[in-house]
Amino acid sequence: MRIPYRKEADRLNDSNITFGNPLMQFKQWFEEALRCPEVYEANAMTLSTVSKSGRPSSRLVLLKGLDDRGFHFFTNSMSQKGQDISNNSHVSLLFYWEPLKRQVRVDGTADLLGNNETEQYFHSRPKNSQISAYVSQQSKPLASDDVLLRAYDEATEKFKDVPNVPKPKSWVGYAVKPDRMEFWQGQTSRLHDRILFFKPDDEKPISEFSKPGEDGWYFERLAP
């Protein structure tokens, strides 16, 4: 299978990299994805973590906020991803917007959001979603589906007269603070655009091709 991507006239280069800070560049691309009717969930992102033994795993989660602290998502800290993050806070996110032939990879560290902020978001969710989070011990084995459905029905009855369901202690939020972000744009020629923003360190030092961005960031073009 081989499909056409973008045209040569639509290359990503220094002249159309609008921002020297990748968070601002991301916001521009994200807003374009939100406006694209063919992109169903622009905020869907693959979260990759590594277990204590070094086993990687990936799953889709939803971006629920973005600020100077990074990319926000919420989950159960007792889940596989929560346990992985508690042992190794280095994670990777990947956004892929197929109709736009664009993807953004975000590498960084995940830090817990404050409990008040997490609780505020939890109670902004539909009540049935709150109940689902209340009864689900995420990633734990179940005897059968009936066990979960029965717990859901019992909790629905228990909280029928209250507006909000108590937030489980294990339900938390994370902010992924990036130190590397790569913007990829597909080209029909397969000479794809790859622009890497990075904060210099021992693993990724400044090269002769690196250009200064903003707020301590540098960027450079990578071979596809």
Q: What is the pLDDT of residue 186?
A: 92
Do 138 and 56 lie in a common domain? Answer: no
Nearest to 150 by CA among 126, 125, 131, 168: 131
Do 14 and 98 lie in a common domain? Answer: yes
Do 80 and 189 lie in a common domain? Answer: yes
Dist CA 24 CA 140 (whole Å): 38
Residue 2, domain member (yes or no): no
Do 153 and 51 lie in a common domain? Answer: no
Do 55 and 155 lie in a common domain? Answer: no
Low-confidence ranges of the chain (pLDDT < 50): none
Do 112 and 139 lie in a common domain? Answer: no
Do 94 and 109 lie in a common domain? Answer: yes
Q: Which domain holds residue 208?
A: 8-123+172-221
Buried b (16+ CB within 10 A) or exposed e, 57-87: eeeebebebbeeebbbbbbbbbbbbbbbbee
Dist CA 78 CA 88 (whole Å): 14
The pTM (predicted TM-score) of the whole model is 0.93
Q: What is the pLDDT of residue 13?
A: 76
Structure tokens at 106: 């975000």
Residue 1, domain member (yes or no): no
CA distances from 84 to 11, 76, 94, 136 (A): 38, 12, 17, 19
Q: What is the pLDDT of residue 18?
A: 79
Q: What is the pLDDT of residue 152?
A: 93
Do 114 and 192 lie in a common domain? Answer: yes
Which residue numbers are catalytic? 190
Q: What is the pLDDT of residue 12?
A: 81
Distance of CA 2 to the CA centre of its chain: 28
How many structural domains are present in the chain?
2
Q: What is the pLDDT of residue 17?
A: 78
